[in-house]
């Protein structure tokens, strides 16, 4: 299995910044897409940003221009730089990864994993 662990959440004032990190570990052969989702109380989980292995990105309209996703493929890590934070960004942020698990391509199988989540609270 692949384990994902997020870090970097916390309490920040409106207009402030936070940087989330997510590390993937396990018998990973390759990771195609890594991304960040969030879930606010009483709402469905939604995509915040994702990045394919080739570098293409996808952002929710609500975070475009404020959030930036990046990856370190050599370390199986993904980051989310969040600037100009708003109270409506308050949520639990989850890391997601999809790829191939296994020692070799011939022995690999697809995986999809989620981290346990990290709380981000934007409040004065």
Question: Are the C-beta atoms of residues 119 and 75 closer than 8 Å to each other?
Answer: no
Q: Tens of pLDDT along 87-97?
A: 999 999 999 99
Nearest CA to 32 out of 94, 95, 80, 98 is that of 98
Look at residue 105 and tell me whether its pLDDT is greater than 90. no
| pLDDT above 90 (res 109) | yes
Q: What is the pLDDT of residue 49?
A: 98
pLDDT digit string, tens, across residues 13-52: 999 999 999 999 999 999 999 999 999 999 999 999 999 9
Q: What is the mean pLDDT of the chain?
A: 96
């Amino acid at each position: 299995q692949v384990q994902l662990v997020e870090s970097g959440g916390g309490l920040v004032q409106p207009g402030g910044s936070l940087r989330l990190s997510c590390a993937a570990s396990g018998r990973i052969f390759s990771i195609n897409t890594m991304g960040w989702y969030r879930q606010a109380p009483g709402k469905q989980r939604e995509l915040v940003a994702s990045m394919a292995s080739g570098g293409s990105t996808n952002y929710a309209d609500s975070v475009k221009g404020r959030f930036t996703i990046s990856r370190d493929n050599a370390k199986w890590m993904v980051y989310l730089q969040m600037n100009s934070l708003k109270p409506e960004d308050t949520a639990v942020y989850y890391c997601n990864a999809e790829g191939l698990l296994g020692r070799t391509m011939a022995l690999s199988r697809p995986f999809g994993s989620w981290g346990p989540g990290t709380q981000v609270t934007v409040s004065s």
